[in-house]
């Protein structure tokens, strides 16, 4: 089978958090619940955004979460439960191509 498979079930979800400790807590909960296979935490991103009529300029961390489409709603509920923001960023991007070994690992690690 080719490593170039289209119409994948796997997705990448981006979630920002105010600090590494909060992101790590969310990441561990997601992986333990099999809602994510892996979460990368990238420190020191700068986010400039509009919030409640003001332009904000904050330091944040970014979580890159590997999971499956079917788990997105449950993942969203868990992130909102653990996140300190009123409106956390939770956006998903499709994985259109990838190593079948890695994508299979995502499926296996998330209970499929």
Q: pLDDT band at residue 1, thresholds of 50, 70 and 90?
A: very low
What does the pLDDT average to over 45-64?
A: 97
Mind listing the pLDDT tens digit for each residue in 14-38? 999 999 999 999 999 999 999 999 9
* DSSP one-letter code for 79: H
Which of 1-5, 6-10, 91-95, 100-104 has the weakest average pLDDT?
1-5
Q: What domains appear along the chain, each with residue ranges and CATH number?
A: 10-109 (3.30.70.120)
Q: Is residue 30 a contact partner of residue 80, using CB atoms and an 8 Å limit?
A: no
Q: Give the pLDDT of residue 66.
A: 98
Which of the four pLDDT bands, split at 50, 70 and 90, describes residue 87? very high
Q: How far apart are CA 90 and CA 108, in angstroms?
A: 23
- The pLDDT of 74-79, averaged and rounded, is 98
For residue 81, the model assigns a pLDDT of 98
Average the pLDDT over 53-80 and give the result: 98
- Tokens 């991007």 map to which residue? 93
Are the beta carbons of 107 and 71 closer than 8 angstroms? no
């Amino acid at each position: 089978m080719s490593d170039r498979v289209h119409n994948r079930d796997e997705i990448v979800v981006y979630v920002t958090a105010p600090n590494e400790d909060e992101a790590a807590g969310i990441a561990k909960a997601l992986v333990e619940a099999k809602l994510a296979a892996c979460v990368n935490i990238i420190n020191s991103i700068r986010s400039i955004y509009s919030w409640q009529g003001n332009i904000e300029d904050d330091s944040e961390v970014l979580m890159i979460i590997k999971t499956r489409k079917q788990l997105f709603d449950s993942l969203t509920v868990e992130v909102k439960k653990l996140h300190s923001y009123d409106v956390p960023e939770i956006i998903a991007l499709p994985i259109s191509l990838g190593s079948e070994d890695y994508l299979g690992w995502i499926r296996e690690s998330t209970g499929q």
